[in-house]
Amino acid sequence: MIFAHRVAGLALVMAALTPAIAFADGKSLFLDNCSACHQPTGKGVPGAFPALAGSAFVQGDPKIVMTTVLNGRAGMPSFKDDLSDADLSAILTYVRSSWGNKAAAVKPADVAAARAAAKAVAKGRGLQAH
Amino acid sequence: MSLVLSGMEALGYGIASATERPPELTGGAKNTKIVILGAGLAGMTAAYELSKAGYQVQVLEARAFAGGRCQTARKGFKHTDLIGHEQTCDFDDGLYINVGPWRIPYHHRSTLHYTKAFGVPLESFVNDNDAAYVYFEKGAGPLAGKPVRKGEIAADIRGYTAELVAKAASAGALDAPLTGLDREKFIAYLVNEGRLSKDLAYKGTEGRGFSVNPGAGVNPGPGKELPPYAFKDVLDSGAWKVLSSVTGYEQQRTMLQPAGGMDQIAKAFEKRVGPMIRYGAVVQKIKQSPSGVTVAFKDADGKPGEVTADYCLCTIPLSVLKQIDLDASAPFKAAMSGVAYAPVNKIGLQMKTRFWEEKHHIYGGHIYTDLAGINSISLPSTGWQGEKGVLLGYYAFGGEAAKISAKTPAERAAFAVAAGQKVFPEYADNFEKAFSFSWHLAEYNLGGWAEWGETGRKDSYPILCEPDGRLYLAGEHLSYLGGWQAGAIESAWQQIGKIHARVSKA
């Protein structure tokens, strides 16, 4: 289901506007990985999950934003084991340019650098936790 | 505490959690009032011990019931997540799923202290089962994407490895690294470990199973042993990832569970501290003065209320507490941001027959899989040979859990059933009902458990373990037993010990 959605979204954009592939992939990756909490609208859930739409934090220093997603912070989970540099850059580029947000794109190399700086190397997840 | 250490501890071989009993709060409570925020295991532990010692205790609990994450879903249990998905559990009478904690390692003596003291009956939790399948799709070769019993994988890869090493040692190829060791004893160990033949070959072993089981007379008589898989196939499958010499500290093979659901522990506490709990009280503001703490809350009808006490013990998860108006020092508040919380999903699937027992001879334990969003399927360690059963259809963490939680409950169930069908041909036909839970989407929790990174553990955690004015924090998040009930209990023990020492000195 998720896969079908992603493929459909990608195909649509490829037909329409080739340079926007990264943008569209960012949207489907966002819906897949982030929307349960931050919502497809980017508005979050008041009192629980912060809004990304109109957020000064999200549109601010990309290094801090990248580190927050990689390592987690203030209750936000860590995604270092789940998202590749390419995926995370596509998601952040989408988030920083959607719902009225107007901040610069994030490149995979930026994420790679942030990952190295934040010691957020992806590790395999254990089979069991608690 | 007793001056005489028990058995293995006396010999210095202790493996149990550091604290096995509550602190002794002797010398009186001097009419001291304590407000406790949260009636989970940390809050109720503190309420129970402090009130026993003479403290005046009031507990504020946001939910209409006690237990915190110690919840069990059975018929009638309701849950609405933050996306607005409403579910009412409709399992048949007697069936349940522990959506929160579900197993107790034998060495969590703090948890076991209370199950014993409160008379909560325990039963075995099968945490390791050689008969359970491993289902790995991402490997290569003929065993990839095929359910294979864990015992077969273990026998074969250990057998072949032992054969290699034994033959090398026997030929003298390991004499240099074996200097000072008894080579023959080493080979004897390998023969034993790998169940090798006298010529140091691994040819399979009866313990991994039979195609025709041994029985009576001459037919089936001795039965027919299953042949081993090829070394290459086992290695390529990746299924060996489920094997280790011993389990992790937290994943002991011997575990326990309360009969009838984990919430029997919460209910046993509630029976003793229930009158101190104000339910439906959602904390709005925590204000400190030099002489006390005032907590403002909204009650179940939305009306404001206030409690003032000498000290506050706050067990609210940091993911939730950071959004509450809190009167604490700047470093303390900054430290509260130093932690991530884990997205965690569970789903209970009611099956109309116990096909895993009847057809596959698997009694409890886990089906490990590399299917994204599933992680493991766990078979119930209760209700053996009953008509029906509820199994755990997925237990997933992190990003994979966040993904699946965006689905509706019906979609989550369909996802879980489709995955299980890959392992058990009877799965979809037997599926009746589901109840799913995502801890990051649970109001008043916002995550399954605290996940401290290296920096947070070093810089933030120690600050939060100490009081800020008259505010003390407790919970699994302030322990190295994170996500375990023992962490909540032992953190509460530590903090009430500190409060009592302060009161005694004042």
CATH number of the domain to which A69 belongs? 1.10.760.10
Buried b (16+ CB within 10 A) or exposed e, B242-277: beeeeeeebbbeebbbbebbbbbbbbbbbebbeebb
pLDDT above 70 as % of chain B: 96
In the block, which residue shows the tokens 């014993």? B116
Same domain, B95 and B163: no
**Do the strands B56-60 and B224-225 form a parallel or antiparallel pair, or are they unpaired?**
unpaired
Determine the average pLDDT of the residues in B160-171: 98
Chain B residue whose CA is closest to A72: B340
Residue B406: inside a domain: yes
Chain B residues inside the 8 Å CB shell of A72: 339-341, 451, 453
pLDDT in the model for residue B15: 52
Domain that holds residue B310: 2-64+280-340+451-505
With a cut of 50, say whether residue A5 has pLDDT above it.
no
pLDDT for residue A18: 41
CA distances from B171 to A77, B167, B249, B472 (A): 53, 6, 37, 64
Within a domain: residue A11?
Answer: no
Closest to A69 measured CA to CA, from A50, A54, A47: A50
How far is it, in rounded angstroms, from Cα A60 to Cα A13? 28
Average confidence (pLDDT) over B98-102: 98
**Which of B325, B322, B316 is closest to B337 using CA atoms?**
B322
* Residue B336 with chain A: CB contacts under 8 Å: 74
Determine the residue of chain B that is closest to A29 in CA distance: B403
Per the structure, how many domains does chain A have?
1
What CATH number should be reported for the domain holding residue B38? 3.50.50.60
Evaluate if residue A9 carries a pLDDT over 60: no
Smallest Cα distance from A61 to chain B, Å: 18
Looking at the structure, tell me whether residues B323 and B348 fall in a common domain: no
Chain A (39-98) residues lying within 8 Å, Cβ to Cβ, of chain B: 39, 45, 47-49, 71-79, 81-83
- Residues spanned by the domain of A93: 43-121
In a domain? residue B492: yes
Q: Please state the length of chain B.
A: 506
Instruction: Indicate if B40 and B156 belong to the same structural domain.
Output: no
* Domain end residue (candidates: B214, B242, B270): B242
Q: Are residues B390 and B426 in the same domain?
A: yes
Exposed / middle / buried, residue B505 (Cβ in 10 Å: 0-12, 13-18, 19+):
exposed
CA distance B83 to B81: 5
Mutate which: B71, B81, B82, vs A, most A CBs within 10 A: B82
Output the six-digit token pair for B430: 């037997």
Helices (H), B238-376: 263-273, 318-321, 330-336, 355-358
CB contact under 8 A, B398 and A78: yes
Q: How many domains does chain B have?
A: 3
Q: Which residues of chain A have a CB within 8 Å of the CB of B366?
A: 127-128
Q: Is A127 on the interface with B (CB under 8 A)?
A: yes
Would you say the C-alpha torsion B316, B318, B324, B326 has a positive or negative sign?
A: positive
Q: Any CB–CB contact under 8 A between A123 and chain B?
A: no
| A44 interaction partners in chain B (CB closer than 8 Å) | none
Q: Are residues B332 and B456 in the same domain?
A: yes
Distance from CA of A31 to the nearest CA of B (A): 8
Structure tokens at A124: 């395999």
Q: Spell out which residues of chain A touch residue B284, defining contact as CB-CB under 8 Å.
A: none
Both B257 and B363 in one domain: the answer is yes
Does residue A1 lie in a domain region?
no
Contact with chain A for residue B432, Cβ under 8 A = no
Q: Which residues pair with B438 in a beta bridge?
A: B345
- Residue B20: pLDDT band (50, 70, 90) is confident
Q: How many CB pairs under 8 A join A and B?
A: 116
In terms of domains, do B93 and B76 share one?
yes
Q: Are strands B72-74 and B78-80 parallel, antiparallel or unpaired?
A: unpaired
Q: What is the mean pLDDT of residues A23-41?
A: 90
The interaxial angle of helices B409-423 and B398-405, nearest 10 deg, is: 120
In a domain, A85, yes or no: yes
The answer as to whether A31 is a domain residue is no
pLDDT of residue A20: 43
**Residue A127 confidence class, pLDDT cut points 50, 70, 90:** confident
Closest Cα partner for B56 from B19, B83, B31? B31
Least confident of A16-20, A68-72, B236-240: A16-20
Report CB contact under 8 Å: A82, B400. Answer: yes
- Over its C-alpha atoms, chain A yields an Rg (Å, rounded) of 15
Smallest Cα distance from A82 to chain B, Å: 6
Residue of A nearest to B247 (CA): A128
Distance separating the N- and C-terminal Cα atoms of chain A = 29
> Can you tell me the mean pLDDT for B208-227?
96
Question: Which residues 359-378 in chain B show a CB within 8 A of chain A?
Answer: 366, 368, 375-376
pLDDT digits (tens, 9 = 90+) for B184-197: 999 999 999 999 99
Region of B354 please: left (phi>0), alpha (psi -120 to 50) or beta: beta
For residue A53, being part of any structural domain is answered with yes
B384-438 pLDDT tens trace: 999 999 999 999 999 999 999 999 999 999 999 999 999 999 999 999 999 999 9
Is residue B120 a part of any domain in this protein? yes
pLDDT at A6: 39
**Strand, coil or helix: B239:** helix
The answer on pLDDT for B341 being more than 70 is yes
Q: Residue B134 falls within a domain, yes or no?
A: no
What ipTM was assigned to the predicted interfaces of this complex? 0.83
Q: Do A32 and B484 touch (CB under 8 A)?
A: no
Q: Closest by alpha carbon to B346, among B100, B121, B57, B26?
A: B100
Residue A13 predicted with pLDDT over 90:
no
The reported pLDDT for the residue numbered A126 is 74
- Rounded to an integer, the average pLDDT of B242-263 is 95
Could you say which of A49, A71, A127 has the minimum Cβ distance to residue B340? A71
Asked whether residue A75 carries a pLDDT value surpassing 60, the answer given is yes
Q: Which among A2, A31, A72 has the least Cβ separation from residue B451?
A: A72
Q: A68 lies in a domain?
A: yes
Mean pLDDT for the stretch of residues B485-506: 97
For the cut 50, the answer to whether the pLDDT of residue B335 exceeds it is yes
Beta-bridged to residue B254, according to DSSP, are: B126
Closest by CA to B440, choosing from B314, B321, B345, is: B345
Q: Does B48 touch chain A (CB under 8 A)?
A: no
Residues B153 and B233 in one domain: yes
- As a whole-number percent, the residues of chain B with pLDDT over 90 amount to 95
Whether B268 is covered by a domain: the verdict is no
Q: Give yes or no: residues B236 and B384 share one domain.
A: no
B459 and B411 within one domain:
no
Q: Which of B240, B249, B255, B245 is nearest to B151 (CA)?
A: B240
Same domain? B298 vs B173: no
* CB within 8 Å: A31 and B406: yes
Whether B468 and chain A come into contact, CB under 8 Å, resolves to no
Across B34-59, average pLDDT? 98
- Residue B484: list chain A partners with CB under 8 A: 130
Is A128 among the domain residues? no
Q: Is B454 left (phi over 0), alpha (psi -120 to 50) or beta?
A: alpha
Dihedral sign for Cα atoms in the order A24, A27, A28, A33: positive
CATH number at residue B193: 1.20.1440.240
CATH of the domain at B92: 3.90.660.10
| Chain A residues touching B446 at Cβ < 8 A | 48, 75
Q: What CA dihedral angle connects B265, B271, B274 and B280, to 10 degrees? A: 50
Between the alpha carbon of residue B128 and those of residues A34, B134, B150, B245, B366, the distances in Å are: 34, 12, 9, 13, 7
How far does A17 lie from chain B, in Å, by closest CA? 28
Scanning the structure block, which residue is given the tokens 């003065």? B289
CB B110 within 8 A of CB B493: yes
Mutate to test the interface with B, among A1, A43, A71, A128 (most CBs of B within 10 A): A128
